[in-house]
Every structure is written in structure tokens, then in C-alpha cells.
Structure 1
Amino acid sequence: MEVIRLNKKKRSATLVVILFSAGVLAASALLVPSLMNSVVFAKNSSSIQGSNRLALSESTIPVLKVEAPAPVSTIQQDLYQQMTAAQIQQIYDFIDKVEDPHTSGREETESEINRRQVLDDKYVYDGLRPKQQLPLKAGQADLYLDLETNTYTYPERSMSDEELLQLIDWYYRLNYFVSKRNPTVPQLQSQKISQVEAEALASDSVRKLFDADVSKLKTSGMLIELGLTKRPTWTVHFAPYKNLTLLGSGEVFWEYDVLINATTGAVEDTTAINLALKRTPIDDDAAGTIQKDASWIHKAVQVITDKQGETRTIIKAYLTDTEFNNKRGMVDVKLLLEDGSSYTAEFRYPDQTLRCLIYEASDKSN
């Protein structure tokens, strides 16, 4: 088990460790909506409680792309056995550079990104490797990383599969040796929830909130430390096997991110992710209509009572962070409970589909 502290001096190195250790965790789980107290619309507790039995409006249940469990990848063993001491030192020298690397020339096209995603899964699961490693000096090929100038250079033409594989291979080597350089941290004393328990809690939360069965999805769990208090937190990510192939092929699928307090076992964030969905920004006229529409409040109440199973009294509910969320095409409803704890339910506009539920325990409930 690896504990990642999210206050490393070199941010890029930390991120690659996270990507390699737990699979690609969607950033939306960590970049949760701000919970500022910008009250727009409020309901008193009696009217809120009276709305609990309103029927949930119909929404599309996430359809899962489920595949048979994939064989265990041997990437780590392969990379370790194939790398010389000199090559490993090159990677460490690259990591130690003060500035993040630059890119010279054009950016990758959408077609190249899609092809690279499919090739990435073939690299991981099927053992597909480039014929040669990525050149690390200028003048050796059209595609290269110049270690002297810390610059990636892409060819002006479309990249071949071989060149895309060279990039994939380099990034996996880089991630692997960054993770090797950061030693495993012993279990935190304040951690009481095991990874198995965290994954079970995460699975149950996804089932309750999104009516989704994640038993046949790939599960990635990682222990991190969040915030200034370095609170130990489990991050659990559910995704189809070979999800990059699905993404690169234009398939529509759902992933789920869950954050769990490793001390108390409280589920603090459950998020449903579908990268194919298009967001609809909320203009001023629509924002004015939403402020007067009590159905957003009612929907949030039903989520935490009927789905989450919350029994504590709701004393206040209101829309929050409207200016920021209008640009994102989201509507956030914050619900304060009698003991000072709170939920924030985030819905997609305009269909009121739940995107995530965030929970904040009060100080006295910890």
C-alpha cells in the first residue's frame, strides 16, 4: 500500500506517481466544487422535510461497459529488467529539473490522441512495445525529447503508431521510476479503514446513488493525505477494463470516483464521470429561472433521504456557488443538517442528473 502526500514540492512528479500507482484517476473527484456560502435560495426545515416523498424525476441510469477481467500486466517487471543504470539515471536527472518540460511544434491532434489511447491499453494488456525507445537527443528522429533543453518535439506530420508507442513507453518508464524513488510510507496511525473496507464502502455508495453495479469494473484504491491537516483519505476509482480503448474508439461509458475518510469511514465524495457528455452553460435567463425553481432543492433532498438514507433533520438547503457553476453547466445544492454536517448535491443542467454527492462532517460528529 502506498500513501501519497499531496504537498510535494515538485507537483509534476507527484502526479505521475498517482497516475502510475492507482490508474488514471479522474481529476473531477479531487477538484470538488467549492462550498462557499453564497446563499441564493433557501427553504425552511418544515417545507424541506415535507418534500421528501416527492417522486424522483426520471433520469438516465448509467450504462456500464463491462468486460471480462483483464490479465495482470507485467509492465513493472518488464521495465525494471530492461532499464540500465545509465537509463535510470537519465530519468532521475529529468525528474530533478526545476521546470516542467516544454513542447516544441504542434500539439497532438484528436486523431492522434484517440490512437494513443487505444495503443496505451495494448501496451498495458497485450504487451505491445515500440521497436525503439524514445530518442532523448535532438537530431536522431522527427519525434524526440531533448534532455538538454527539457523539450519534447513532435513532427509536423501525423505521428505513426511506432512514435506514439515510444511516447507511451517513455511515460510508463518515467512513472515507474518516480514511484520507485518514492519509498512506500508505513500505514498511518490514524488510518482505521483498510483498503478492502474502503472499496466495499465505495461500491455501496455508487450502487445507492447511481443504481450501478461496479463488481465487474476495474477497481483502483490509493491512500492519500488531503488538506492542510493531511487527513488520510482513500480514493477509489471504478472504470471498465481497457477504458482507454473505449475512449479512443468513441464509446460511451461511465467511471466513478469515491473519496472515503480513512479514519472514520465516512464517504465524503461520490462522483459519476462520463467524458462523452456535453455540458450546457447556464445563461442569465436560465440562472434566474433556476433560482425560482424549487425542484432542484427537492431533488437534492430526495437524493440524501431516499438514496443516501440520511435520517438526520435538514435545517436548511440552498443553491451555492452559482456564478462558478453556471459556467460549468452544473447546479449545486447544499443541505445543512441538525448537527452541523452538510451535503452538497451537484446536478447536471438541464436534466437534473446527479453528478456527485459531497459530504462534510461537523467537528462534533468526528
Structure 2
Amino acid sequence: MNKKKWYAGAVVLFSGGVLTLSAFVVPGIVNSRVIAGNGPAVQAKAQPAAGGSAIPVLKFEAPAPVSTVTADLLKDMSEAQIKQIYDYINKPGLEPGISGREITEAEINRRLVLEDQYVYEGLRPEQPLPLKAGQAEVYVDIETHTYTYPERTMTDEELLQLIDWSYRLNYIAARHNVTVPPLAQDISEAEAKRLAAESVNKLFDADVSKLKTKALLAELGADKQPAWTVHSAPYKAATLRGQEKEFQEYHVIIDAKTGDMLDTTVINGALKRTPIDDAAANRIAKDASWIHKATQIVMNKQGEKRTIVKASLTGTENNNKRGMVAVKLLLEDGSSYTAELRYPNQALRCLIYEPAGK
């Protein structure tokens, strides 16, 4: 995918346990990069691809910084400004667009660093982003929802204006979010975070206690079962991405009623996927070490005591393109694990659990 494409308003907020994401975004944000070719695995600058590697990973564990964004927006925005943005985000049929060039990779990286400074250090633009043409070279036309960038490189002030606008959009969206009935749960948020930390420690030998951890309760899957999603990442992860440093994040999904670990995944944006060609796929199909590796993970790291009655590779056509080998292990009671291993080093990317009858 083209890394030059970027969200102008994509900021995720956890507000009162509800995930809010601005729908008003410039097309084409990069959330992964597909790597072509079948050469050996090397480091790349993609984000966020899936992780698990022998490559040394820089360890970023800093004291928790405090964000004043919400308080500052609350003090700064008048009711007229709030109403203007509220009316804007509720216009039907709006599709975001860009007039002129797309943002460059260098500007993306600068924006990432500036965004952490905006959130954690109180850095603010001198002026708000103009909302119509004729006032500046960088602006958003709120009538057509079109972002316009200059042909020259944008200044820090202009990037800060775009960041500030995206946070204002999300603040208003969260403020006017419709309250929904709470989902049924037997696992509390604190318990979900504890279980997630234990799972990450077991599978990846990692300590998330000094990482920024957010938990969200939502209905997932076709059966709409309530589940906790718990995400842990370094504070100021945007700065690390902007500086193209390697680090790891962890994403865990937990059944909110039973406490089962449904999915534990490590994310490392610096790792490059190595697609599996036909010759390599044939070798893997005959190589018992992949099933042996997955079995050891489930028995020794996960601590599973139930008997494994069947083991097989699964989803090979799609996984070959992704550079992953997925091994499904069926248990005696009908439950199963799927261990997704990176090719060629067999490092664990994620472990997925499916209870019997699901």
C-alpha cells in the first residue's frame, strides 16, 4: 500500500468505555504493507505488520505521561464552534477527499511525532485549521469535506492544525455519542487487563506493566458475544513510529463472560513479511517441525492440559501470501487453538482459541 496516503482525522478515543473513531478521514491510511517477492526476511518500515522475530527489539518503558487534550478542548471551544462541528459531522453522505497532492512519508513521520507532543506535551497550533478556501494554503472545506495541501512541504504549524482539527472532531463525536445499555459481562475491566497481561507474559515473555493499556468492551463476531479487547503499547508510540524505531505492541481478546483468551497477538511494525512461494509451501507441508512448534506453544507456554487429537495446517492459500503458517490444533472436547507462525523463523505471531461449539 502507498504510505503517502494518510488520515486527516483518524484519532481513536476511549471515552467512558466506548470506542469513538471519527468517520471523517482522508482516504488511504496505512495499517499494513504487503511485501512482494520471496526473498529472506529483512527489516522494513511498514506499520503495523505482525511481529515475532529474533531481531532485538528496543524496549520502551517510560513513566506514564498525562494528556490534557480533553480538558484543553473543553475550555477552548465555544458552543458555537461545537455546534458548527456537530452539524458538520452529522451531514449525511459525506465522503472525505483530498484536493492536490497527497501527504508525503516525511510529513507522515513528522506528524506522528507532533501528535504525541500535542497529546502529552501541550503543543498547540497558533491558529485553528481554516474551514474554507481563501484563508490559507492548508485547509478543509467543511461544505465538501475536502482537504487541501500545498505543493510545498507543510510546516509544523500546518501539521499541528490538522492534528488539532482531528482531535476536535473526535471530541465532539464522543461528547454527542449515544449512550447504549451496558453489555453483559462477568469479567471486569481490571480483571481483563490482568488476564491479558498474563497471556502476553506466557506466550511472548513480555511485561506490559509499563506500557499504555486500553480496554474496550464490545460485541464481536457473528454471535455478538461480549468480549474485552485489551491493547498495550508504549506511551508516545506515534513518536516511535515517526522516528522509525522498532517496538512491540500486544492485542488480546477475552471472552467477557468466561474469561477465555480468544486471541493474543504481538505487533511489530518493523518486521517485513516474507510471502511463501509454491516451492516453500511444498516443503512446509512435509515439515513436521511447524506442527511440533505449535504443539509446544500450546502445551508448554499456554499450559493446555487437554489432549490434542488432530493437528493440521489451515488457510494455507491466504497465509502463504501473508508469509504466515497457521497450525490448527483440535482438542479432545472439540475446542481448538490456531497458532500463527511467521515464515521462515517460526516465531509466534498470535494464538487464537475457539471454544467447543462456537
> Which range, TM-score by smaller chain?
0.7 to 0.9
> Residue 236 of structure 1 corresponds to which residue in structure 2?
230
> Which runs of structure 2 are paired with 1:165-314 in the superposition (5 Å)?
165-188=160-183, 190-314=184-308
> Does residue 1:109 correspond to 2:104, yes or no?
yes
Tell me which amino acid in the other structure corresponds to 1:139: G
SS at match of 1:285: helix
CA contact (8 A) 1:17 1:179 kept: no
Equivalent residue, structure 2, for 1:74 = 68
| 1:128 pairs with 2:120 | no
Matched, 1:157 2:152: yes
| Deviation for aligned residue 1:59 | 5.9
- C-alpha contact 1:345 1:358 (8 A) present in aligned 2: yes
Q: Deviations over 1:270-303 (max 9, x none)?
A: 1000001111111111111111111111111011
Instruction: Provide the residue aligned with 2:135 in structure 1.
Output: 140
| 2:350 is equivalent to residue 356 of structure 1 | yes
| Cα distance in 2, alignment partners of residues 67 and 295 from structure 1 | 35
1:361 CA displacement: 0.6
Quick check: 2:100–2:148 contact (8 Å CA) kept in 1?
yes
Q: 2:134 & 2:182 partners in 1: Cα distance?
A: 47
Give the structure 1 partner of residue 38 of structure 2.
none
In 2, the alpha carbon distance for the partners of 1:133 and 1:17 equals 20
Q: Which has the higher contact order (CA 8 A, sep 6+)?
A: 1
Cα drift, residue 139 of structure 1: 1.7
Q: Whole-Å Cα distance in 2 between the matches of residues 71 and 285 of structure 1?
A: 50
Give the CA deviation at 1:22.
6.3
Q: CA deviation at 1:66?
A: 2.6
Equivalent residue number for residue 36 of structure 2: none
Quote the residue 2:323 is aligned against: 329
Given that 1:191 and 1:232 are in contact with CA atoms closer than 8 Å, whether structure 2 keeps it comes out as: yes
- CA distance in structure 2 between the aligned counterparts of 1:238 and 1:65, rounded to whole angstroms: 13
More displaced 10-residue stretch of structure 1: 277-286 or 99-108: 99-108
Retained in 1: the 8 A contact 2:57–2:248?
Answer: yes
The answer to whether the 8 Å contact 1:271/1:355 transfers is yes
**CA distance change for structure 1 residues 276 and 157 in 2, over 3 Å: closer, same or farther?**
same
Q: TM-score, normalised to structure 1's length?
A: 0.82
Tell me how large the CA RMSD over aligned residues is.
2.3
Cα distance, 1:123 vs structure 2:
0.4
The separation in 2 between residues aligned to 1:19 and 1:103, in whole angstroms, is 28
What does the per-residue CA deviation read over 1:55-102, in whole Å, with 9 as the maximum and x for residues that have no partner? xxx962874523322332111111122112222122222322323311
- Kindly indicate whether the alpha-carbon contact (under 8 Å) linking 2:20 and 2:170 is maintained by their aligned counterparts in 1: no
Kept in 2, the 8 Å contact 1:23–1:220? The answer is no
- Classify 1:341/1:18 alpha carbon distance in 2 versus 1 (closer, same or farther; 3 Å): farther
Say which SS state the counterpart of residue 318 (structure 2) adopts.
helix
User: Residue 32 of structure 1 aligns with which residue?
Assistant: none
Structure with bigger helix share is: 1
Q: What letter matches 1:158 in structure 2?
A: T
Structure 1: how far apart are the matches of 2:294 and 2:61?
33
* Contact 1:279/1:328, CA 8 A, preserved across alignment: yes
Partner secondary structure for residue 66 of structure 1: coil
- Report the secondary structure of 2:80's partner residue: helix
Q: Are the equivalent residues in 1 in contact too, given 2:20–2:174 (CA < 8 A)?
A: no
How far 1:224 sits from its partner (Å)? Answer: 1.3
Q: Matched residues in 2 for 1:16 and 1:163: separation? A: 17
The amino acid that maps onto 1:99 is L
CA–CA distance in structure 2, aligned partners of residues 199 and 64 of structure 1: 23
Unmatched segments (≥5 aa) in structure 2: 1-6, 22-29, 32-51
Residue 48 of structure 2 corresponds to which residue in structure 1? none
User: What displacement does 1:118 show?
Assistant: 0.4
